[in-house]
Each structure stands twice: as structure tokens, then as C-alpha cells.
Amino acid sequence: MTTAAPVNALVIFGATGDLAKLETFPALVGMVERGALEVPVIGVAKSGWQLEQFKDYAADSLRNNGMDPDAEPSKRMLELLRYVDGDLSDDATYQSVAAKLPQRSRNLFYLEVPPALFATIAQGISKAGLAGDARVMVEKPFGTDLRSARQLNETMHEIFPEDSIYRVDHWLGLDATENVLFARFANTMLEPLLNRTYVDSIQITMGEAFDVADRGRFYDNTGAIRDVIQNHMLQVLAAVMMEPPVGGLDTMRDARASVIRSLRPLTPDTVVRGQYNGYRDVPGVESGSTTETFAAVRLAADTWRWEGVPILIRAGKTLPVTATDVTVRLRRPPRNVFGVQPFRSQNSLRFRIWPEAAIGVELAGKKPGAGLEPQADELVFEQPPGADMRPYDRLIGAALNGERWLFARQDTVEAAWRVVDPVLGDVVPVRPYERATWGPVAANQLLPEGESWYDPRA
């Protein structure tokens, strides 16, 4: 794996926002603890604060995440913090940032702000003479459709070359996503089975038992397809379906892009949209909203390896469980050797992505006793929740070191939008569903004949 020269400073725009409070500060402590962060961390925001208030905010973030601000790694992280209070549209703000940077430094700029501010910040960085040799991390959403994604890329490329842009999809930083790659490419027993000869279907279920809570205004302009399927779920799918990277991690993004480019664009008959009852009562949601809180899609890949294999994805709010599983169902044996009726024996490979990392292989054995009746058992490799590294710890650390394989590339982002673009908006009607159910019953119509959705609670 090739790494670029490390940076001399981390600058976080939007450093007093929710993402910083929920994820960034705890991640920075983890980086300090493992020796991955020793450079100044400059927060930039317009909050009317001084440095001490910013540090207090960071300390509160640690407490809210069950971390002790007085522990040694926390204290070292807090000592690295600097702060610039200013308007992001004011050139003076960027001059103040420049004054706090080491001379002739290579900087990582992390834009924890809405995409509408990307151009303003990029131009401010450039005017201050800070764009040369810089890296820039940007948070999703990378546009709201294919057209806006292209415009956003063009805007960023006016200041930064593609190799300097690190697009964050935090699911790529999950231990469980990397676990999929390890299971495939660090073993010889699984990879030969992952193709159309042995695989009957691929399913991904992303269940969230909670509702949109106080995010009504944001969610009503987004919906399940834009929020999780176009990005998170397609990235997970690529990890399951990609070809072995040529030459190692440096070509991982090529392999990922190839899978997503191969997916056929969705059509109305391959999509079911749903909305849980009570969603329209959420503050910030339009009274007649047709935004989907659930979506199920059926995909197909035009590749030699996966031709003809149905790919099913469903994701939604207020489902019976909060869990994300990938299930690869293998074909039944070609003959019913034991004369079992009905003949149900079918192997499967399961990847648990959230809330813990797990790999399960379901095998058929003989049920004890008289007769020749099969009994399914699952062999599971499992890591308990909380045993993995925080995704933002991994992602920020990778960007500091110039490791790009954990980040989304422009062509991959645009290819993912190309898949979902035809069904955005109200092309497909939205169907109501009750809380704590698996969404509209119509989602079952997307399944191959005789197949059911895998239940992550099973």
C-alpha cells in the first residue's frame, strides 16, 4: 500500500457542528492514543467563541461518548486544539487560519459542512494561498442526483485535483466492511464460490428500528434512496462483489468502481418505496410529503461473474430491528441424494455489518435421530459491538497519511447516481407501512420465486 507524505496540520471547518460533537472529537482521541495524531487541529466556525469554549465543547463531546476528558489521551488531544472564529465567506477568516498553520505546511482541510459551502471554502483556501499540496476531506451527500454530483465535482476541481479530494462515506471506515474484504481475500475457501455458478442471490437488509426523530427537515429533502442506498449500500455491495484488487490496496478503488459501473440503472418496476405511518406528523416534514422512509430495490450486474444473479437491497426506518446484514444464498445441490421432501437444503454466507462485525456460514447437517432429515446450523465468526476502531478514527488517519483506498472516487460516485437517478422523486408511488414491520408487502414482489427476505433477527 502506497502512502503519501503526512500532513502538518488538520483544519476542520464546521468544528462546532453535530458531526464534530458526535464523531470527530472521540475519533481524534483514538488517533492520539495510537500515535496517529500529533499535529495541530484547527477548528473553524462562526460561534462567537474563544479557544477555551471550543475546548469545553470538545470535552463535552468526549463525556457524551463515555470518554474521560481528563484521561491522558484526551488531554493530549485537547492540547492540540486551536480555534478560529469567523464567517466562512470572509477572506479574513482564512488569513487567520493561515496564521495558525506551521510555515510551508502541507494541510488536511476537513469540510464538515453542507455541500453548498464547499465552493466558498475551497475559494477561501485558495485565496489565502493554502491550496497547494493540500488535501481536502468532504462529507456526503455528494450531490442530490447525477447532475448535481457532476456540478459539485467540477466546483471542487476548480481548486483541487482529484487526487487531493477525499470523499467520506463512513461505512467504508467500518471494521465490518473491511471484514468482508478480509473474508474474501485472506481465505481460499470462500472466493471460489462467489460467482453465478454457485450463488443464487445476494440480499442486503439495512434495518433501523428508530424513526427520523428531529431530522425531519433534512430527511424530507433526502429519503432512503439518497440517504443510504446510493452510497452506503452500494459501497457494501461492491465489497461483496468486486474482483480481487490487482496489486493490493492501491487498486481497491478500481475494483469497487468496476462493480458499481456494471449495475444496470433502476427502473420503476424494480423499486418499491414506503413511508411509515406518522412520518408526516414529524416537525419539518411537509404535510403531504411523498418522501420514502423505506426502499427496496432489485439490481442486476452486467459482468461475467454475476450475470443473472438477482441482487436485492432493502433499507428503512421503524423496521423491527436495527441491523445490517448481507446474505449470499448459494444454490441447492444438484440432486436430492437423501430423498428429503420437501428439499429445502441451501447454504448461505452472511456478513453482519452493523451493529457488530460477524461472518456466518450456514451448512446443512443431519438432524439427530432416525431418518435422513437435514438440520441447518450456522458457524459464526463474531466481534462484540465496540471492539472495533471508530470509523472516523480510521478515515481521518488515512487522509492524514494520504491513503486513498478508503474514500469514494469521483467516477464511482457518479456511477452510483447513474444507478438510482431514474427512480428519484415520485417516479415510483410511495406506500404506507406500519411501524415495527418490514415495510410495504409489495417489496416481496421483487424477490425471485420461492425466496423470502432474510431476517437479521434470525
Beta bridge partners of 166: 137
Torsion of CA 11, 14, 17, 19, to 10 degrees: -60
Task: Tell me the CA end-to-end span of the chain in Å, nearest whole number.
Answer: 38
| Burial of 96 per CB tally in 10 Å (0-12, 13-18, 19+) | middle
| b/e per residue 186-196 (b: at least 16 CB within 10 A) | eeeeeeeebee
Identify which of 132, 98, 136 has the alpha carbon closest to the alpha carbon of residue 115. 136
Cβ–Cβ < 8 Å for 328, 240: yes
| Burial of 273 per CB tally in 10 Å (0-12, 13-18, 19+) | buried
As a whole number of angstroms, the distance between CA 404 and CA 395 comes to: 9
Residue of 167, 232, 253, 273 with catalytic role: 232
Distances (CA, A) of 26 to 10, 121, 449: 15, 25, 47
State the alpha helices, DSSP H only, in 167-309: 175-185, 216-220, 223-224, 234-241, 252-262
Which cell numbers hold the place of 21?
A: 460533537
Tell me whether residue 157 is one of the annotated catalytic residues: no
Torsion of CA 416, 419, 422, 423, to 10 degrees: -90
As a whole number of angstroms, the distance between CA 17 and CA 255 comes to: 34
Q: What is the dihedral sign for C-alpha 59, 57, 12, 227?
A: positive
CA-based angle 400:406:409, to the nearest 5? Answer: 105
Cβ–Cβ < 8 Å for 110, 137: yes
Element holding 432 (H helix, E strand): strand 430-433
DSSP state of 172: G
Reported as half-sphere exposure (CB side, CA atoms, 13 A), residue 91 has a value of 5
> Would you please indicate which residues are annotated as catalytic (active-site) residues?
232
